[in-house]
Amino acid sequence: MVLLPHEGFTVNREGHLELDGFDLVELAERFGTPVYVASERRLKANFRRLREAFRKAYPGETVIAYAVKANYTLAIIRLLLLEGAWMETFSGPELFMALAAGTPPERIVLTGGSRLEKDFREALEAGVGLIVVDSPSELARLNRAAGSLKVKASILLRVNPAIQVPTHPAIATGVAGSKFGVDLASGAAFQAFKEALNMDWVNPVGVHTHIGSRILKAEPFVEAAQRLADFLVELNRELGFEASYLDLGGGFGIPYHPEEFSCPLNLEELAGKVSQAIVGKLEGAGLRLPTLILEPGRSLVGDVEILLARVGNVKETPQGKIAFLDASTNHLLPVLYTGQYFELWPANKADKPPEETVTFAGPLCFTGDVIAVNRRVPKIEPDDVIVVFSVGAYCKSVYSFHNAQPRPPSLLLSEHGVEIVQRAETLGDLAARDRIPPRLYRGETP
Amino acid sequence: MVLLPHEGFTVNREGHLELDGFDLVELAERFGTPVYVASERRLKANFRRLREAFRKAYPGETVIAYAVKANYTLAIIRLLLLEGAWMETFSGPELFMALAAGTPPERIVLTGGSRLEKDFREALEAGVGLIVVDSPSELARLNRAAGSLKVKASILLRVNPAIQVPTHPAIATGVAGSKFGVDLASGAAFQAFKEALNMDWVNPVGVHTHIGSRILKAEPFVEAAQRLADFLVELNRELGFEASYLDLGGGFGIPYHPEEFSCPLNLEELAGKVSQAIVGKLEGAGLRLPTLILEPGRSLVGDVEILLARVGNVKETPQGKIAFLDASTNHLLPVLYTGQYFELWPANKADKPPEETVTFAGPLCFTGDVIAVNRRVPKIEPDDVIVVFSVGAYCKSVYSFHNAQPRPPSLLLSEHGVEIVQRAETLGDLAARDRIPPRLYRGETP
């Protein structure tokens, strides 16, 4: 029997897996495969649980700014907006997606790493609420951009606490040598903040950090919160500055492997310990509590969306059985770049025990296009519908076009039924930006 | 001074790098960055050199079928078509792109790994010339598909020679345990071929293999050719079959690292040795020479296209200097999944010697977005234009959307001037497939 990642999944009398009461085998039949399927119920539950945990634990205000990069499906952004989320957008295109979903600009936190004056001008013209500045040279550019528009920019300074972050190196950010933020320990962050306070068109209102992604323990966040709180105490003591915001970033992990299902990140514990760290430091120094900003992506959307794929060929090789899916590593790119594990199971055999070992490959023309190696599953046959669980974060949003495979549609499940929230990409879409110079139509070598 | 990958690059009096006489700094200024730039001259030269090498060496016919997956820009497909190329398309979408560029269907070799009856029917309806079949179950499906249309399908059987392939494991295909082809040594390939000969709607006309990608030595190709030739001799001896085609696939490597510039794959040597292997075996057995099909991708387009990017922020960290580009690993995905090396240099400082060590990062919101680590380059400053060399293969075609970064435009340089052959993706394009259910516009939590 399949170990299910959350209680929205059930098994019906036909042995089919259901999500929120929708038969996944039927959905695959009706909408074709591959197809992404998201649960509105789970999305709301994830948001509400995180909000409640911090409401209870932190005596100040808490803002949850959804990290749009995780999944920028407009319907998902819109749903979180209606729940009360702010939006964290890293880049101009993400800012556009947040605005296109109807986000009020004052509820947007704009982060970034290497922006030019024109990028800052566009953000200021759009009325973005808070701009997170990554380096002294960004600070200078923002000051010039704001000055040219005669508007004062409210900013948070991103600092690098250079702590130990227990995750894959490619997604650890708050570590020594990372490309992000201004170094805290060397005094560089203090110096940058002091400069910011003296600038004409910049209004520093707090500090920001983001330590990494897929972190399943509370401790690194607590350590980061302590460093930020210490920094606020120092800024107050040395410069008389009092912060309105402390932005702890995101990076809250979710279980992907069944072995992690029993030890997820405990959000209530996280909220309690983080709050304690901040409140202890700041109240000890007689400072008022800033609004705490969190920037969760994966923890809000990761287990909200699944991918349905169908088995095509099944092949016996001297090295074992390979089942080819119509979905590929294009749909699950983290498999390629961080070796991420995704759990999967035949939706039409949800009540069956594992009885064989199968490798699941995509249909693409390269050997590395393998989604899952040597999984214990029920007997796999052509036309089985495979559910790949918890693909809501950083799968659709980093889609890759190997073999010109067009992007699948996305469905949203709710009490309103099944809604298509992203249509399938067409072959015509693939060629939509192409132009063959007319001279090449003459049919002779030019 | 920069070591240049081919003679199309020159340095002008201003110290700017030129490609085919076009000043790359000016192109960056005029068209913005990032931007892809392709050389029509180099594309034709690459095709002609490979064709001449095999024309001289192989006494039978040679067909060069361009592996569309490497770069499916329609103008590039069209240019190769006008040179006389056939097209190798792996999937339905690639087939569409080849047809959209005007390829006559009879000049298309369709490969694939896990196709359903409907996929084969579409290919047969389009009149595709040759279908490469990957497994016995594909064979059965193709026979049914062809039968339902009452057309006879000309096929090549893809075999796995299970040889040693000196390349990155993710792109080695003709090795034991690969998901591709039918095993040769075990007799499975012979059995499948025999079955194919007895099928009503399948007309076997030859054999196919593809051993991997980025191979810089002739030997593996020679070994694969020997195995295929032995197989043809066996098929003739046992079944009286005489082949019209021997398809050796592609995988011819190109130099990426300056250390490889002096020892590229020698195409003339390759052609000579491969021909010798085939001719020796087949003439020895008294067989006529089949048409030799090659499926090059990278070796035709790899060094044809460059990426121009601009330096934004430059940051000193305790671990060294980091220059942020406006291009990212989205544009150079092989950096992430096989750690591929791409050479780069400031186009506006092409006459300067290296004087510092710089890491080049992309602007994306993850630590792994680093294009090149610790490169010796001239002093790097904001606004420098960086050329990333030899990005023509498997960069644009596997583009990834991290941080919703839209795809850049593509330029083609020729005696006809600069032509835009792919327009820039717009922010509107990013949201073009999205639909927010109207109920979510009511502004209240549904």
Closest CA to A54 of A40, A43, A65: A65
3-class secondary structure for B18-35?
EECCEEHHHHHHHHCCCE
pLDDT score of B285:
95
What residues in A contact B116, CB-CB < 8 Å?
312
Q: Per-residue pLDDT for A445 more than 60?
A: no
pLDDT score of A91:
86
Q: Which domains does chain A have, with CATH numbers?
A: 9-39+302-430 (2.40.37.10), 112-294 (3.20.20.10)
Shortest CA gap B63–chain A (Å):
18
What residues in A contact B111, CB-CB < 8 Å?
365
- Residues A364 and B337: their CA atoms lie apart, in Å, by 15
Q: Do A317 and B179 touch (CB under 8 A)?
A: yes
pLDDT tens track, chain B, 446 positions: 678 889 999 999 999 999 999 999 999 999 999 999 999 999 999 999 999 999 999 999 999 999 999 999 999 999 999 999 999 999 899 999 999 999 999 999 999 988 899 999 999 999 999 999 999 989 999 999 999 999 999 999 999 998 888 878 777 777 777 778 899 999 999 999 999 999 999 999 999 999 989 999 999 999 999 999 999 999 999 999 999 999 999 999 999 998 898 889 999 999 999 999 999 999 999 999 999 999 999 999 999 999 999 999 898 877 899 999 999 999 999 999 889 999 999 999 999 999 999 999 999 988 889 999 999 999 999 999 999 999 999 999 999 999 999 999 999 999 999 999 999 999 999 999 999 999 998 765 43
Active site residue ranges of A = 365
Shortest CA gap A407–chain B (Å):
10
If one counts every other C-beta atom within 10 angstroms of the C-beta of residue A164, the result is 12
Instruction: Show Cβ contacts of residue A294 under 8 Å, excluding neighbours closer than 6 positions.
Output: A50, A54, A62, A63, A64, A65, A247, A248, A249, A250
Q: Do B177 and A318 touch (CB under 8 A)?
A: yes
Q: ipTM greater than 0.90, yes or no?
A: yes
Torsion of Cα atoms, A421 then A422 then A424 then A426, to 10°: 140
Question: Between A213, A312, A318, which is nearest B114 by CB?
Answer: A312
Among left, alpha and beta (phi > 0; psi -120 to 50; other), residue A102 is left
- Residues A68 and B48: their CA atoms lie apart, in Å, by 48
In the 8-state DSSP scheme, what is residue B139?
H
Q: What is the DSSP string of A107-125?
A: GEEE--SS--HHHHHHHHH
If one counts every other C-beta atom within 10 angstroms of the C-beta of residue A259, the result is 10
- Given a contact cutoff of 8 angstroms between Cβ atoms, the answer to whether B268 and B55 are in contact is no
If one counts every other C-beta atom within 10 angstroms of the C-beta of residue A219, the result is 13
In B, minimum Cα distance to A72 occurs at B404
Question: Between B83, B116, B401, which is nearest A399 by CB?
Answer: B401
pLDDT score of B70:
98
pLDDT score of B443:
61
If one counts every other C-beta atom within 10 angstroms of the C-beta of residue A210, the result is 25
Shortest CA gap A367–chain B (Å):
5
Cα A130 versus chain centre, distance: 19
- Portion of chain A with pLDDT greater than 70, in percent: 99
Strand partners, A252: A215
Residue among B133, B358, B386, B436 with most chain A CBs within 10 A, to mutate:
B436
| Active site annotation includes B365 | yes
What residues in B contact A363, CB-CB < 8 Å?
91, 112-114
Question: Between A97, A422, A427, which is nearest B433 by CB?
Answer: A422
Question: Between A102, A116, A312, which is nearest B312 by CB?
Answer: A116
Instruction: Show Cβ contacts of residue B326 under 8 Å, excluding neighbours closer than 6 positions.
Output: A114, B33, B34, B309, B310, B312, B363
When the pLDDT of each residue in chain A is averaged and rounded to a whole number, the result is: 94
Residue among A72, A107, A436 with most chain B CBs within 10 A, to mutate:
A436
- Given a contact cutoff of 8 angstroms between Cβ atoms, the answer to whether A319 and B177 are in contact is yes
pLDDT score of A375:
97
Instruction: Show Cβ contacts of residue B137 under 8 Å, excluding neighbours closer than 6 positions.
Output: A313, A314, A315, A382
Angle at A438 between CA A436 and CA A444, to 5 degrees: 100
Q: Per-residue pLDDT for A277 more than 70?
A: yes
- Residues A326 and B82: their CA atoms lie apart, in Å, by 33
pLDDT score of A45:
98
Question: Between B116, B421, B437, which is nearest A312 by CB?
Answer: B116
Joined tokens for residue A134: 């990554």
In B, minimum Cα distance to A425 occurs at B433
pLDDT score of B175:
78
pLDDT score of B262:
85
Q: Do B403 and A169 touch (CB under 8 A)?
A: no
Shortest CA gap B153–chain A (Å):
20
Joined tokens for residue B162: 């299970």
Say what the pTM is. 0.94
Q: Do B78 and A436 touch (CB under 8 A)?
A: yes
Out of B150, B286, B318, B365, pick the active-site residue: B365
User: Helix, strand or coil for residue A411?
Assistant: strand
Quick: pLDDT tens for B222-264: 999 999 999 999 999 999 999 999 999 999 999 999 889 888 9
Residue among B433, B439, B441, B442 with most chain A CBs within 10 A, to mutate:
B433
What residues in A contact B134, CB-CB < 8 Å?
313
What residues in B contact A412, CB-CB < 8 Å?
437
- Residues B328 and B70: their CA atoms lie apart, in Å, by 19
- Residues A269 and A221: their CA atoms lie apart, in Å, by 11
Shortest CA gap A266–chain B (Å):
24
Question: Between A72, A170, A427, which is nearest B93 by CB?
Answer: A427
Q: Per-residue pLDDT for A444 more than 60?
A: no
What residues in B contact A69, CB-CB < 8 Å?
365, 402-404
What are the distances in angstroms from CA B428 to CA A102, A291, B410, B424, B433? 15, 34, 19, 11, 10
Q: Do A318 and B404 touch (CB under 8 A)?
A: no
Shortest CA gap A292–chain B (Å):
21
Say if strands A356-361 and A344-346 run parallel, antiparallel, or are unpaired: unpaired
In B, minimum Cα distance to A97 occurs at B431
User: Helix, strand or coil for residue B124?
Assistant: helix
Q: Do B367 and A169 touch (CB under 8 A)?
A: yes
Q: Any idea which residue has 């890759």 for tokens?
A: A400
pLDDT score of A1:
65
Confidence band for A179, pLDDT divided at 50, 70 and 90: confident
What residues in B contact A432, CB-CB < 8 Å?
429
Q: How many contacts, defined by CB atoms under 8 Å, are there between A and B?
A: 304
Q: Do A97 and B431 touch (CB under 8 A)?
A: yes
In A, minimum Cα distance to B135 occurs at A315
Question: Between A116, A407, A437, which is nearest B75 by CB?
Answer: A437
User: Helix, strand or coil for residue A391?
Assistant: coil
pLDDT score of B170:
74
Shortest CA gap B341–chain A (Å):
15
Instruction: Show Cβ contacts of residue A261 under 8 Å, excluding neighbours closer than 6 positions.
Output: A3, A5, A255
Residue among B110, B186, B315 with most chain A CBs within 10 A, to mutate:
B315
